[in-house]
Amino acid sequence: MSTDTVGQAATGTVPHRRRQQVRVRILTLTGVAVLLVTTYLFTDVTGSWDYVVQLRARKLAAMLLVAVAVATATVLFQTVTENRILTPAIMGLDSLYLLIQTVVVYLFGASALVATEPTLQWTVEIVVMVLFATALFRWIFTGAGRSIHLLVLVGVLFGVLFRSVTHLLQRMIDPAEFAVLQDAFFASFSVQPQLLGLSAATITLATVGLLLIGRQVDVLGLGRAHAIGLGVHHRQLVAAVFALVAVLVAVSTALVGPITFLGLIVANLAYHLIGSHLHRHTVPAAILLAVIFLVGGHLLLERIFDLGTVLAVVIEFVGGIFFIILVTRKGAR
């Protein structure tokens, strides 16, 4: 008998059944995601098969990357802040992204935004956002106060500040240039192919980093006191997680624009469906849900509403309803 079966026998049958249930649910989610992805890629093709599929594959790649980044970042952020209704958006990264775009147009004109090498633009955006986020996280979370409420307040304040400056600058620029800028305000998955590779590489690196500290992050969910008592280097680990979150959110925002609302929905749905606190269960579930929402949302948007609305509306509408149902059901139980 192997040592593993001894361990299994000792823990009894119920935890085993729970593990199996988690596995079944993740597999089901995978099935739905794969189904949606194939439907998106291969159905309703008119015109050149090659062209259409290639175009869609590129969009799909962007969606998958964003799903991984946003879902992972939100779950981690919620663990570290010990709060289930926060998203990294509270740190004002979305508004910072819009501010960067606006400042570029204001200073150099819309032609600059269009003409700049996308890779360069991407890199600058990422660096600025990551620097800002890590500075803010570190300052607030490792300082004397270390309060989540302070972090939220300061984040909201910065968000408002960025938005106000953005609005001010937008009023001062040429209306024709403003029209170009406006495109940047909504998440769009028609991305430059050269950015996909870069983003994929960055997100992969961040994910590997996360895998290395994954089990320690589970302990963070118990709160600071227990984490320290169990021998986790709390400050170091929190700083590392914040850096990962900043990179993931920045990459996703620089790739397709602001979309963090998605994270809140998928993270909470994942906790609910999986019922496990372990990140090796909740993170994959949240990612799969994000894929389902993004690809499903696009299917609805492109095939049923004929592009009559924006993705945010679809996801927030469907996800919002789903979310409210879950919350009320949980309350009733």
Partner 1 sequence: MIVLQSVTKRYADTAVVDDVSIELGHPGITSVIGANGAGKSTLLSMIGRLLPIDDGTITVDGLDVTTTRGALLARRLAVLRQDNHLTARLTVRDLVAFGRFPHGRGRLGPADRDAIDQAIAYLDLDSVGDRFLDQLSGGQRQRAFLAMTLAQDTHYLLLDEPLNSLDLRHCVQTMRLLRRAADELGKRIVLVLHDINFAAAHSDRIVAMRAGRIHAVGTPTEVITTAVLREVYGLDIAVEEFGGHPMAVYHL
Joined together, the tokens standing for residue 223 give 């709160």
Q: Give the Cα separation of 311 and 326 in Å (integer).
A: 22
φ/ψ (deg, to 5) at 48: -65, 120
As measured in angstroms, the least distance from the Cβ of 215 to partner 1 is: 3
Q: What's at 52, amino acid-wise?
A: V
Candidates 6, 176, 304, 332: give the one binding partner 1 (CB under 8 A).
6
Q: Is 304 in the site for partner 1 (CB under 8 A)?
A: no
**Among residues 233 and 303, whose Cβ is nearest to partner 1?**
233
As measured in angstroms, the least distance from the Cβ of 284 to partner 1 is: 17
Q: Is 233 in the site for partner 1 (CB under 8 A)?
A: yes
- The residues in 7-26 that bind partner 1, with binding defined as CB under 8 A, are 7, 10-12, 14-15, 18
Quick one: which of 74, 69, 54, 2 has its CA closest to 271? Answer: 74
Number of helices and strands in the chain (H, E): 14, 0
Joined together, the tokens standing for residue 48 give 């050149």
**Among residues 228 and 300, whose Cβ is nearest to partner 1?**
228
Q: Give the Cα separation of 251 and 197 in Å (integer).
A: 12
Q: Is 82 in the site for partner 1 (CB under 8 A)?
A: yes
Q: Is 84 in the site for partner 1 (CB under 8 A)?
A: yes
Handedness of CA 315, 317, 322, 326 (dihedral sign): positive
DSSP 91: G
Q: Give the Cα separation of 147 and 81 in Å (integer).
A: 9
Query: Which listed range, 26-34, 75-83, 130-138, 251-259, lies at the site for partner 1 (CB under 8 A)?
Result: 75-83
Q: Give the Cα separation of 35 and 292 in Å (integer).
A: 9
As measured in angstroms, the least distance from the Cβ of 230 to partner 1 is: 5
**Among residues 99 and 219, whose Cβ is nearest to partner 1?**
219
The DSSP annotation for 48-63 comes to -HHHHHHHHHHHHHHH
**Among residues 280 and 303, whose Cβ is nearest to partner 1?**
280
Q: Is 188 in the site for partner 1 (CB under 8 A)?
A: no
**Among residues 77 and 132, whose Cβ is nearest to partner 1?**
77
Residues 6+ apart with CB under 8 A from 5: none
As measured in angstroms, the least distance from the Cβ of 270 to partner 1 is: 12
Query: Which listed range, 22-30, 76-84, 119-127, 255-263, lies at the site for partner 1 (CB under 8 A)?
Result: 76-84
Q: Is 122 in the site for partner 1 (CB under 8 A)?
A: no
Q: Is 221 in the site for partner 1 (CB under 8 A)?
A: yes
Q: Give the Cα separation of 258 and 52 in Å (integer).
A: 26
Q: Is 232 in the site for partner 1 (CB under 8 A)?
A: yes
Q: Is 116 in the site for partner 1 (CB under 8 A)?
A: no
Joined together, the tokens standing for residue 182 give 């406006």
Q: How many residues bind partner 1 (CB under 8 A)?
A: 33
Interface residues with partner 1 (CB under 8 A)? 3-4, 6-7, 10-12, 14-15, 18, 79, 82-84, 215-216, 218-219, 221-226, 228-233, 271, 275, 277
